[in-house]
């Protein structure tokens, strides 16, 4: 090779090293309401169809359960169970009723008993001190109940008879179970039969 020839060496720059891949951020869910904001909803739900829901009006009658039990009926495939409920309702102003309902569900049995009690309500004509004018006595099945006015003593009664008198708003009376029956439904119905002998408001 000739001495006067200049040898030019060129170096090709090396390719840049690949950058380390950055770790991906976890998938972030867009905030709720974002789509609605784009649609112009403002992130708030509109009013429900049919307007706001009104709360159920409270019933004018107070109620007290005097008995609930499970009853069985024997069928070809086995036993079928239902629920029986007995309820006393009244406005504590002279109106009272007793009802019994039976259904496969407890709540449904209570609703049936309430409707039955409303159908069989009586309206009493009480004295000024919310007592009865005279002694009354009645018998229902094996239950015998006697109710007597007793001024100044308050309500003296027991069993389901007390529940009937409380729901009717009767005070200053003494009730006595003459029979040995422990059936609360029959005792309550005997009390209703006795109160029917009190003058009623028609």
Q: Summarize pLDDT for 23-33 with one digit per residue, the tens.
A: 555 555 655 65
Tokens of 17: 């090293």
Q: How far apart (Å, rounded) are the C-alpha atoms in residues 6 and 140?
A: 136
What pLDDT digit, counting tens, does each position of 172-194 carry? 999 999 999 999 999 999 999 99
- Mean residue pLDDT of the chain comes to 81
How far apart (Å, rounded) are the C-alpha atoms in residues 155 and 168?
12
Question: Architecture of 62-195 per CATH?
Answer: 2-Layer Sandwich (3.30)
Q: Is the pLDDT of residue 106 over 50?
A: yes
pLDDT over 80 (residue 15): no
Residue 56 pLDDT class (50, 70, 90 cuts) = very low
Least confident of 38-42, 56-60, 72-76, 95-99: 38-42
Rounded to an integer, what distance in angstroms lies between the CA atom of residue 191 and that of residue 87?
14
3: pLDDT strictly greater than 80: no
Confidence grade of residue 57 (pLDDT, cut at 50, 70, 90) = very low
* Per-domain boundaries in the chain: 62-195
Structure tokens at 195: 């109160």
pLDDT digits (tens, 9 = 90+) for 145-165: 999 999 988 999 988 999 999
Beta bridge partners of 84: 69, 102
Please state which of the ranges 18-22, 97-101, 118-122 shows the lowest mean pLDDT: 18-22
What is the reported pLDDT for 77? 86
Q: What are the structure tokens assigned to 174, written together?
A: 């003494």
pLDDT of residue 51: 47
- When pLDDT is averaged across residues 81-107 and rounded to a whole number, the result is 93
Mean pLDDT of 95-114: 94
Helix (H) or strand (E) holding 168: helix 159-168
């Amino acid at each position: 090779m000739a001495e006067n020839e200049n040898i030019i060496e060129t170096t090709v720059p090396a390719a840049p090293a690949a950058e380390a891949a950055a770790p991906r951020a976890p998938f972030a869910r867009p905030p709720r309401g974002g789509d609605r904001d784009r649609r112009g909803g403002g992130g708030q739900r509109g009013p429900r169809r049919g307007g706001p829901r009104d709360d159920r009006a409270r019933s004018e009658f107070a109620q007290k359960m005097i008995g609930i039990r499970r009853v069985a009926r024997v069928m070809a495939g086995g036993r079928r169970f239902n629920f029986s409920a007995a309820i006393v309702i009244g406005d504590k102003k002279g109106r009272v009723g007793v009802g019994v309902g039976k259904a496969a569900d407890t709540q449904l049995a209570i609703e049936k008993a309430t409707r039955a009690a409303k159908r069989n309500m009586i309206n009493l004509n009480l004295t000024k001190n919310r007592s009865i004018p005279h002694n009354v006595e009645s018998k229902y099945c094996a239950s015998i109940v006697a109710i007597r006015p007793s001024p100044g003593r308050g309500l003296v009664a027991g069993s389901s008879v007390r529940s009937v008198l409380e729901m009717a708003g009767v005070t200053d009376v003494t009730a006595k179970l003459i029979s040995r029956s422990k059936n609360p439904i029959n005792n309550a119905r005997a009390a209703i039969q006795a109160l029917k002998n009190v003058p009623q408001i028609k």
